[in-house]
Structure formats: C-alpha cells, structure tokens
Structure 1
C-alpha cells in the first residue's frame, strides 16, 4: 500500500476504535452488563422494559395482513441458512487446517441475545432470534470466504465493489502482476499467524 493509503487506513482503524468506545459508553448508560455471557439488567430497567412491551394480540391487531402472509416466505429461508451453516462449517473444518488458515470462530459472529429484552413480545423475540442467527451466519460465512479469498486470490477487482470484507484492503491492485507474485505468500502467512 502507498503511504497515503497506509495513513488513511490508520485513521480509519483509530476511528473504528473510537466508535467502539462510544458504543461501550452507551451500553453503560443503558444499565446492563454481561455476566458469563448472560445479559443482566438493573431492576428498574427490567421493570421499565416490561411496562413498554406491546402485547402479542395488540401487535398482531396493527399488523397488515400481507405482512402476516409473507412470514412463511421469510421463515422458509431457515432451511438454506442452516444448510449454508453446515456446509461452510464442514468446509472450514476440512480445508482450513490443510491450508494452515486460522479458523473463524463462529460465536464471534452469531449473537443471539435480544430475546432477553423484556420490552419485546414472544413473536418479536422469535424474529430477533431468527435475524440474529441469519445475519450472524452471513458475517461468519463472509469471514470464511474472505480468508479463503485472501489465501487463493488476494487481488482487488478492476471496478469498485460495494462493501468489501475487511481483508480486501490488503489485496494487491488489479493489474499489478509483480505485487501478486511477491505478496501472495505474505498474505497467506498472515492468515496462518492469526489468533482466534
């Protein structure tokens, strides 16, 4: 990377750290903490959440019929998502040790915790579990795919792609054959030295 890109990347990393610190401050203000991965709210917050909950019958009363009718389409996607989860996990378990790539920790990506919020009714909690699983799974799959791409073809595309994975930043430029030859092993070694 050029010096300018290195400086921009360093600024971006610092900004991401700042954002994470701000999220930590906001979590503290919401009066909850994690105790062995279990969410624990202050009693006054828990009570306020219960009072804010919209009962299931009220929730359904104001839901448009087409929204209700679309639910089976949404929930049917659980089958391909579970299959994707299974296949990617098996792929990683078999191939990553062969390539000496550090494995992606699934639990770092899939967070299912919103069902503990007392201001959600049962259906909302189910929806949150579903979305937490599916979006977390896609994050997990993206990281597995990103590490695979870094191992086999760490080359940027000719055109700008929207929302590339974080590893993409270090890939070699599209038309730089010399950098591809010289940098591929460095990028592969970086995968081997990763810590979980």
Structure 2
C-alpha cells in the first residue's frame, strides 16, 4: 500500500531525528561538547588540532593560481549579501507582525563558529566565516520567503521543484480551485500555529 504524503513527511521527521542522534554520537567521537551554544574541545584534542594547522605561506603556495584569482569574485558577493540581509531583515521586522506570521530566529540559520577550529589557518578561518554567514543568510532568507509564500500563495507548482522549503508540503495542490476558495486560510492558520 503506498504511503500518504503525511506518512512520508512523518518518516522524514523521524529520519531527521536519527540524523541528529548520529551527529551527537560524532561529537563524542571528535571529543567536543556544546555548552551554552559554544563548542568546547578537550585540551588534548585542541593540541592535536594545532599540530594539524597548515601555515598560511604553505597553504598559499599549494593553492592554484586560478583559485587565488577567483577569490575577489567570491568575496565581492559580500556587498549584495549585506544589502539582501538589511532589506529582508527590515521587511521581516515590519511585515511579519502585521500578517501575524511568527518571526524567524536569525541565530537558527546563521552560524559563524568554524573559525574557532584550531586546525584552520587565518585564511581558512576567514573563508569559513564568510561561508557561514553567506549560507546562513540564504537559509534565513529562504525561511522568511517560505513563510511569506505560505501566507500569501500556498499553492504547489505544477511540476517538481528542487529544494522546497519546509512549508511547501502543506500547500494546496496545483489546480485545486475549490480548495483555494474553500480552505485558503488553512495554510495561514497552520503557519500561525507554529508560534
């Protein structure tokens, strides 16, 4: 008997919980723990990590020239990222309370913590700060956009969409005009119930 969409979603949640348990096991394997949101390594592990650090001069000597030349292109994206961050944060702060949509917690998406790893050199740490911010920002923006879509236009697309946000599975089916007119507020209620 084929599984229903709801059963599949529940199975995905169960798998996510199993993944979290596996990640917790790995924390023990790599000998660190989280204390008040901060990573704490055992001292012996920190010493071993320092020994693994590649000096910046050696790191740069091993880097391909094409990678060095492309770095300004990558880092130039910080300008549109910061502008996006400002605009989306202002939109989020003003409009979500008006619509009654629960706010997105920024810290749940933007994590800048890899620069604390002792086995990374200065350049690698800078890269990790940049990637943590940029990818976290995209996740933050995606969640804000997903909640906005769930509020204003909770209709699935006609064809498959890659990388759907977490609210998409609750949307009305494409072509369900009766559902739209008869139950369009349901996805809004579901979104507001998340608070």
* TM-score interval (norm. to shorter): over 0.9
Partner of 1:102: 102
Partner of 1:155: 155
Q: Please, which runs of 5 or more residues in structure 2 have no aligned partner?
A: none
Residues 99-108 or 37-46, more deviating: 37-46
Which structure 1 residue ranges, 4+ long, deviate > 3 Å from structure 2?
Answer: none
Matched, 1:38 2:38: yes
Q: Please, which runs of 5 or more residues in structure 1 have no aligned partner?
A: none
5 Å matches for 1:49-60? Answer: 49-60=49-60
CA RMSD, Structure 1 to Structure 2 (Å) = 1.3
Q: C-alpha displacement at 1:184, in angstroms?
A: 2.1
* Distance in 1 (alpha carbons) for counterparts of 2:119 and 2:75: 23
* Distance in 2 (alpha carbons) for counterparts of 1:13 and 1:179: 26
TM-score with structure 1 setting the length: 0.95
* Distance in 1 (alpha carbons) for counterparts of 2:56 and 2:3: 57
Matched, 1:71 2:77: no
Aligned residues: 194
SS in 2 for 1:12: helix
5 Å matches for 1:6-155? Answer: 6-155=6-155
SS in 1 for 2:184: helix
Q: C-alpha displacement at 1:3, in angstroms?
A: 6.8
Q: C-alpha displacement at 1:29, in angstroms?
A: 1.5
* Distance in 1 (alpha carbons) for counterparts of 2:99 and 2:178: 23
Partner of 1:175: 175
SS in 2 for 1:104: coil
SS in 2 for 1:39: strand
TM-score with structure 2 setting the length: 0.96
* Distance in 1 (alpha carbons) for counterparts of 2:22 and 2:160: 30
* Distance in 1 (alpha carbons) for counterparts of 2:134 and 2:168: 23
